[in-house]
Chain A
Amino acid sequence: EIVLTQSPDSQSVTPMETVTITCRASQPIGTSLHWYQQKADQSPKLIIRHASQSLSGVPSRFSGSGSGTDFTLTINSLEAEDAATYYCHQSSSFPQTFGQGTKVEIK
């Protein structure tokens, strides 16, 4: 099983700051890595797929990068509405797995 380790576990950030969340895979997964945003009491929402592919309707301040074992989700100019827990997910091999999540709080 591929283990995804996110860091940090949580982060408290001031609006307009840049947030960087990393996801490290225990073995290479190419670019089969996706990012989700889950706000309190809501279902997860896909925000980046295939490591760096943006999605329609997702603000351009969200971006992803990486390949192999190291991946990054960047949120530029953080807004209050970005308060959420962020998860990475690998679809490279079965069983598929999620990272443990990174909680982003707004100061």
Chain B
Amino acid sequence: DVQVEESGGVVAQPGGSLRLSCAASGFTFDDYSMHWVRQAPGKGLEWVALVSWDGHYTHYADSVKGRFTISRDNSKNSLSLKMNSLTTEDTALYYCGKEGSWGAVDVWGKGTTVSVSS
């Protein structure tokens, strides 16, 4: 089965840091770009970041640029999101997603919850 599974979500303090991870299985990981998408409680989907198949190119939403870093380790079929300078606005369910044909996200994980609170 093609799967991605997120981990690392916790309660963090404003100004703090956190690293989310995503483990991929069932597909050739280094053939595909990967995304992070988040969803604040009761809100819609917000695209966060993308990393190219080889890790050479990264793109970010304006709301996280300069604070979050997306990266991947193709030897471990693993995706990461390093989150710095957290604010309460970063509280959300964070999804890892595989990019498929035409740029659509065709595989989604169950998400990991980040709560930023003092």
Contact = CB atoms under 8 A, between A and B. Distances in A.
Interface of A: 1, 31-32, 34, 36, 38, 43-46, 49-50, 53, 55, 85, 87, 89, 91-92, 94-101
B26 interface: no
B100 A87 contact: no
Given A1-B62, A43-B108, A95-B62, A49 B102 contact: yes
Report the interface size class on chain B: 20 to 34
B104 A91 contact: yes
B8 interface: no
A59 B38 CA distance: 27
B61 interface: yes
Task: Give the secondary structure class of A's interface.
Answer: loop
Interface in B29-46: 35, 37, 44-46
B106 A49 contact: yes
B90 to A, nearest CB: 16
Contact of B101 (A45, A50, A85, A94): A50
A91 B60 CA distance: 13
A46 B100 contact: yes
A49 B100 contact: yes
Contacts of A55: 106
A44 B45 contact: yes
A53 to B, nearest CB: 7
Nearest to A53: B102
Contact of A94 (B59, B104, B106): B59
A95 B60 contact: yes
A101 B44 contact: yes
A44 B108 contact: yes
A49 B60 contact: no
Nearest to A90: B103
**5 closest Cβ pairs, A-B complex:** A91-B103, A49-B104, A50-B102, A34-B104, A94-B59
B14 interface: no
20 contacts: A34-B103, A36-B45, A36-B105, A44-B95, A44-B105, A44-B108, A49-B100, A55-B106, A85-B44, A89-B47, A89-B105, A94-B50, A94-B59, A95-B61, A96-B47, A96-B59, A96-B103, A98-B45, A98-B46, A98-B47
